[in-house]
Amino acid sequence: CPQYLLLTEDDYLEQGDRVIATPVLRRAEDSEMLWQGLQAGVIDCLITDHFLGALPDPGKPRPALKAAEPGIASREVFYPLMADIFFHQRKLDPAILVDVMASRPAELMGIDDRKGRIAVGMDADLVLMDPKMRWKIADLGQNSRISTLPYEGWRVQMFNRRTMVRGETVWDGEKIAVDKGFGNYCGTDEE
């Protein structure tokens, strides 16, 4: 998950409950070892889970650190944030990012016959990025858990202009462009 590459145990002091995760955050040296593992091909996947915690109630104080529910919201900014760091900050080979965020996860899930790469006959799941657009990560309001996002205020030079699923635009750069229920289960029938 991105938090293990981008955050360290030092972030508990500043961010508090926004960075409670399982497993817990580690030292900066540990994060650097993960970056080395990505570059060396030792790490198979770079993913984010879906934080299912309750949306924060603006009328209530944030919970104490030990009472906070673990989970770090990042799905809304995952691709542009990681692409920015891969390409602009770390200067890593783009093929590594494609492999750990698309090809290898599809292969491990047994759906690489239709997902994970661009080729004739594949599902045409694409994220089209603008590598020059600069923006600041901010709270997205009541419809998103991004209000608990520890990356709020970070400046990113990579913007998701369009997301396509099965060749259909589902995000047009400003809003969701399909009706609820458009998604399909894409797992395998195997246990």
**Residues noted as catalytic:** 49
Longest dimension (CA), the chain: 52
Q: Is the previous residue joined to 23 through a cis bond, with omega within 30 degrees of 0?
A: yes
- Burial pattern 59-94, b for ≥16 Cβ within 10 A else e, equals eeeeeeeeebeebbbbbbbbbbbbbbbbbeeeeeee
The DSSP bridge partners found for residue 162 are 128
Q: Report whether 83 contacts 98 (CB < 8 A).
A: no
Regarding beta strands 155-165 and 126-136, do their DSSP bridges make them parallel or antiparallel, or are they unpaired? antiparallel
Amino acid at 108: L
| DSSP helix/strand/coil, 100 | helix
Give yes or no for a contact between 129 and 58, defined as CB atoms under 8 angstroms apart.
Answer: no
